[in-house]
Structure 1
Amino acid sequence: MKKKSGSDNPISGASDPISDEQAGSDSPALPANPGRRLTLGHIADQLGISTATVSLALRDSPLVAEETRVRVKRTAEEVGYIYNRSAASLRTARSQIVGVAVHNIQNPYFAEIFSSLEDVLEEQGQMIFICNHRDDVKRQQAFVNTLLQHRADGLIICPSVETTAEEINRLVDQGIPVTLVCREVAGAWAPCVRGDDAAGGYAVTNHLVRQGHTSIAMVGGRRSSSTGRDRHAGWKRALEENGINPAAQLDLPELMTQADGRDAVGRVLDAPRRPTAVMCFNDLIAFGMMPMLRRAGVEPGRDIALTGYDDIDGSANLLPALTSVCNHADKIGRLAALTLLRQIAGERVPNTPILIEPELRIRESSTTFTGRLGG
């Protein structure tokens, strides 16, 4: 067979994948040469195909037949070739890198979002760099700068508190596709995929009111974030519509973790007007409160009603099973990834919020008020 030159175009003149027969026959691996850097051309010479075909095969292009892709990758592995992503990005203006930044990767809710968006992005050959910025805006900025240095194709970000619209808009102005997730930034020129937190906060509080509770605490939520503000606003609106004064209720902002939930129990039980029900900002706070309430002789679901938010894995298996608001993390992750990919492909995406409707899941932890609760 005549060997094809390195300048051959593997897709000209035909739409069928490049076959194994066209790719040449097997030959012994290249001899090791420590003074010589391996290139695509070395693999192409060995297999009798073009460098363009080798490049496409290493990027899993459907234009190359499966058996050819396998042989190219096997040969590359045998000779110790490492794909030069930086050089490829210079040729294609794409790095196949996407950054994902959230404030608490240890929260199972964000792990579910990440898993969903990862599935979508990996299907499109994107590699993911992840940052756990911990609501530290400087840590977030350092990550974004690193992404820019690596010529990342785009960014999916649950923005840290204190993130400004100017920071997001500067990226958009530079042509960097950006999709916000879970938290909005007022005035940002980027789309945001999130749950309708005001509706969820309202629904779970209204449920507690219908159960007969009139002393309903809210525990947690950073009010400087849109999520914290919106869930708090939903709690407040439900109380007001039912003739209950929000200012008379126990309200403990800024708490986010299981440790915060454990620490909050004393403040809840020692309140001048002990709540008969607690709306927790998220499930983690409820997870932290439950054992500490029991240690104080107060049984969740019997002596005090307790609700969470996000409906993370394990919420339904607690004793009692936790009433929570399902925010559909899988749907948020998938839509965030698809929204970013549309931007990477050059499509203009409106910067209006993409709201996911929450679902209240009522379980054993939110009891009917019997008059025995509170103090």
Structure 2
Amino acid sequence: MRDGSGSDRSAGGDGDDGRSGRRLRLGDLAMQLGVSTATVSLALRNSPLVAAETRERIKEHARKAGYIYNRSAAALRTARSNMVGIAVHDILNPYFAEVFRALEDQLGREQQVVLICNHRDDVSRQRSFVDTLLQHRIDGLVLCASVGTEAEEVNALVDAGIPVTLICRDVTGVRAPVVRGDDFLGGLMLTRHLIGQGHRRIAMVGGRRATSAGRERNLGWKQALGEAGIDAAGQVDIPELMTQADGRDVVPTLLAADPRPSAVFAFNDLVAYGILSALRRHGVEPGPGMALGGYDDTDGADSRLPSLTSVWNAPEVIGARAASLILRQIGGERVTDEHILIPPELRIRESTPPPPPES
């Protein structure tokens, strides 16, 4: 609770600020030290989330300022908040809307409120969100980790007793449960389908290769090409694209390639939708003129013209399993070694016909 000046009444400590005679708050210490309120609170509780040197600096400053840490108030802060944070890189992607729905349904049945952050693959934004959640005493964190996330920072949360579950993206070395689709297998299945249709020039478009999803879908594409004796190095491979706008913008590059791809594996449905609309504007009919496959099988993929072949990536299953893992941890169970890979399904539709006969 905050008073009229914005200071934190639930800080759990008191002292005289030496100027107005009012009690010193955590927020005052944080301002004086140039750190967050959560960092001060964690340091005073000897949390491993704060580096040892920073911890000692904060504690020394608190002692000199006459701040007394109130352990009774601190005990109140360890009570359940009934809030779970969820952080992903793109809340505008309909795939994550489906994941959220499953998470919210199951967490809601246990009276948990969901707080959502869109970190946009900015690791500093993700860290700020987590810091804010710690201030609000969340019961747990569901994280689709940003590019640049270090295993150590997630493990520090785990070691501090905060329930954490990773979704959709893995981070090597993290000691927290993970629930995601088998991206390698999905990439393999879609590419094998395109090869089976007779395509030999298959572009891969999109995916942040610093993430497990981007890297493994690309590896599945390369493996399928290698099985068919097709050199992946000779194919169009354009990383990093993630949105419909990216898909629209890449079409001139695809059409100018020599030789031009006869098929495209889009990293996700959003990129595929952008490609589909832009191909028509350039006079190329999606499907017959250039086959196109997407990933995630989001709502509406089957009603496009042509309907989009896509890899179903189990959003409801991932959301429900992640919610279950978080609730188990909130209930006191230690869960660190569960790595759940959900098998994908290839859903074949009109957008991936065989290539036209060579002239």
* TM-score normalised by structure 2 residue count: 0.78
Deviation at 1:353, TM superposition (A): 1.7
- Cα deviation, 1:336-355, whole Å, max 9, x if unaligned, reads 11111111111122434201
What's the counterpart of residue 112 of structure 2? 126
Q: Which structure 2 segments of 5+ residues have no match?
A: 1-72
Q: Tell whether the 8 Å contact from 1:180 to 1:190 is kept in structure 2 after alignment.
A: yes
Deviation at 1:199, TM superposition (A): 0.1
Q: Which runs of 4+ in 1 moved over 4 A?
A: none
* TM-score normalised by structure 1 residue count: 0.75
Deviation at 1:89, TM superposition (A): 8.5
Q: 1:243 aligns with which of 229, 233, 237?
A: 229
**Structure-2 separation of matches of 1:317 and 1:189:** 41
Q: Tell whether the 8 Å contact from 1:169 to 1:188 is kept in structure 2 after alignment.
A: yes
Q: Which structure 1 segments of 5+ residues have no match?
A: 1-86
**Structure-2 separation of matches of 1:297 and 1:99:** 45
Q: 1:345 aligns with which of 331, 336, 340?
A: 331
**Structure-2 separation of matches of 1:135 and 1:333:** 20
What's the counterpart of residue 158 of structure 1? 144
| Structure 1 residues 91 and 219: alpha-carbon distance in aligned structure 2, compared to 1, 3 A threshold | closer
Q: 1:97 aligns with which of 77, 80, 83?
A: 83
Deviation at 1:91, TM superposition (A): 7.7
Output aligned runs, 1:188-267, within 5 Å: 188-267=174-253
What's the counterpart of residue 52 of structure 2? none
What's the counterpart of residue 167 of structure 2? 181
Q: 1:286 aligns with which of 263, 272, 276?
A: 272
**Structure-1 separation of matches of 2:112 and 2:132:** 17
Amino acid at match of 1:289: I
**Structure-2 separation of matches of 1:352 and 1:120:** 19
Output aligned runs, 1:35-50, within 5 Å: none
**Structure-1 separation of matches of 2:77 and 2:259:** 67
Aligned: 1:359 with 2:345: yes
Aligned: 1:108 with 2:90: no
Q: How many pairs were matched up?
A: 287
What's the counterpart of residue 307 of structure 1? 293
- Cα deviation, 1:216-269, whole Å, max 9, x if unaligned, reads 000000000000000000000000011000000000000000000000100000
What's the counterpart of residue 320 of structure 1? 306
- Cα deviation, 1:19-40, whole Å, max 9, x if unaligned, reads xxxxxxxxxxxxxxxxxxxxxx
Which structure has the greater CA radius of gyration? 1
Deviation at 1:372, TM superposition (A): 4.4
**Structure-2 separation of matches of 1:97 and 1:301:** 46
Q: Tell whether the 8 Å contact from 1:89 to 1:95 is kept in structure 2 after alignment.
A: no
The CA RMSD measured in Å over matched residues stands at 1.5
Amino acid at match of 1:301: G
Q: Tell whether the 8 Å contact from 2:184 to 2:220 is kept in structure 1 after alignment.
A: yes
Deviation at 1:150, TM superposition (A): 1.1
